[in-house]
Amino acid sequence: MGFYGAYKDVFDAAKAAIEKKSSIKSVLLGEQFSYDLLPKAVVNALPSGISQGALGDLLEVKVSFSVVLVISEYEPKDWFQDIISVMADAVDAVLADRTLGGKAADCVPVSFAPGEIKFENKLFYGGEIRFQAVLYYPGN
């Protein structure tokens, strides 16, 4: 498997994990955003660092990605119940298997930011969770 396959596998595994949560109706990865089926998670690639691994020819790739949760078009009455609980479900989904089914050596959340989200000048409520997964290329 080439670099693309190893890199993309991390995203596919994160998407699959989040899809298991009933509080999130749809998960997008590289797809066009639509306003239906909320709450919705959108998985996005972020800049990822690559460095020489400690042993041999391995590269350590710190795969960074965000999960933007678009939960409601209306301001929540209770941020913890309406927004943060759904965001926490996404974190729990990823942390249930920190290796993402063996696609990474480890994956951890690095930020958790509930708030307002804009898509195409339309305001939503939800938040962004950033994750960092570590993979060793070639081979994990």
**CATH for 33:** 3.30.2000.30
Domain count, the chain: 1
pLDDT of 53 above 90: no
Helices and strands counted in the chain (H then E): 3, 6
Q: What's the N-to-C CA distance of the chain in angstroms?
A: 11
C-beta of residue 133 within 8 angstroms of C-beta of residue 100: yes
C-beta of residue 64 within 8 angstroms of C-beta of residue 130: yes
Model confidence pLDDT, tens digit, residues 127-139: 999 999 999 988 6
Specify the pLDDT at position 140: 53
Average pLDDT over every residue of 27-43: 89
DSSP state of 55: S
Provide the pLDDT confidence category of residue 32 given band limits of 50, 70 and 90: confident
Model confidence pLDDT, tens digit, residues 57-81: 889 999 999 999 999 999 999 999 9
Domain extent for 119: 3-137
Q: What percent of the chain has pLDDT over 70?
A: 98
pLDDT of 97 above 90: yes
Average pLDDT over every residue of 33-47: 91
Quote the pTM value. 0.92
